[in-house]
Amino acid sequence: MFSGRNKPKIGVTGPDRGGYPAWFFTRIAVWRAGGKAIRIRPGKKVDPETLDGLIIGGGADIDPGRYGDTIDDIAEHHEKGKEDENEGGGIIAWLMAPVIMLIRKLFSLGSIPVDLERDELEQEFLESAVRRKLPVLGICRGAQFLNVFWGGNLHRAIIDFYTEEPKIESVYPRKRIKVMKGTQLEGILKKESCLINSLHNQAVDLPGPEIMVAATDLAGVVQAVEHKTYPFALGVQWHPEYLPQVKSQQRIFQKLVRLATSQNKNKQE
């Protein structure tokens, strides 16, 4: 185990305003996995060369211009899905979900359509991470950013997909996903189906040429992507940081930190 000073440093991107709940829970998840989370914002940059791994967090929509679209009518939808699952962490999940929702509400500064400065920041840090072959995890918006970075595009509004299946929007793990066989995600979760939370309005449309779909929900909406050949670049549309009680979800952070540990060792030699 590394000392506090020598723990692998995991950069975690976020907005200048807000984003505190996601940062708090991500920091805890990284710490539990044996790493040290370093917060990165447009107004608080760090040297990307000091990092051993990168997490691109959730937040505002990505500028549509990055994937050949326009910003005219970004839609926000708040239609709730119906509860139809009994899994997802048991009594602990039921107890934690209201706490997480309350924290998110207290620290919410309202939504903004896009965050151009953050887009530029994450482009810079992702380019640096890829050049150095660092492990990369994208969460929610971060998963979408990975796809756009590698040449894919996005659905700017996904409500039309949920005609037969309800559009679930909940911090509690209520949405069922199918995990594709043979993917890194399947190797991490060790299951072909699981329940996740859902807090997003956009999703991957066409995967980039080097990107493969790793999971979908029952409506066919992409819920996870990963790079076909890069050592570790995984994007999940849900928020595993808000599922500290689900061991399989915390293995995502453990995998990232384990790979970052190798980077840390090489850097010290």
| Residue 171, both tokens | 């911090």
Q: Of 41, 53, 20, whose CA–CA distance to 253 is shortest?
A: 53
**Is 241 annotated in the active site?**
yes
Collapsed DSSP state (helix, strand, coil) of residue 192: coil
**Is 239 annotated in the active site?**
yes
Collapsed DSSP state (helix, strand, coil) of residue 34: coil
Look at the alpha carbons of 117, 123, 128, 133 in this order and tell me if their dihedral is positive or negative: positive
Contacts for 114 with CB less than 8 Å, ≥ 6 apart: 60, 61, 62, 63, 64, 71, 74
**188, β-bridge pairs:** none
Could you give the CA distance from residue 241 to residue 199 in angstroms, rounded to a whole number? 13
Could you give the CA distance from residue 47 to residue 199 in angstroms, rounded to a whole number? 31
Catalytic residue of the set 122, 140, 200, 226: 140
Q: Of 259, 252, 220, 217, whose CA–CA distance to 235 is shortest?
A: 252
Catalytic residue of the set 122, 194, 226, 241: 241
Query: Phi and psi (nearest 5°) for 180?
Result: -70, 140
Please give the C-alpha separations between residue 188 and each of 37, 41, 58, 224, in angstroms, as whole numbers: 21, 29, 21, 13
Q: Are strands 193-198 and 170-179 parallel, antiparallel or unpaired?
A: antiparallel
| Residue 148, both tokens | 């756009």
Catalytic residue of the set 194, 200, 226, 239: 239
**Is 210 annotated in the active site?**
no
- Write out the catalytic residue numbers: 140, 239, 241
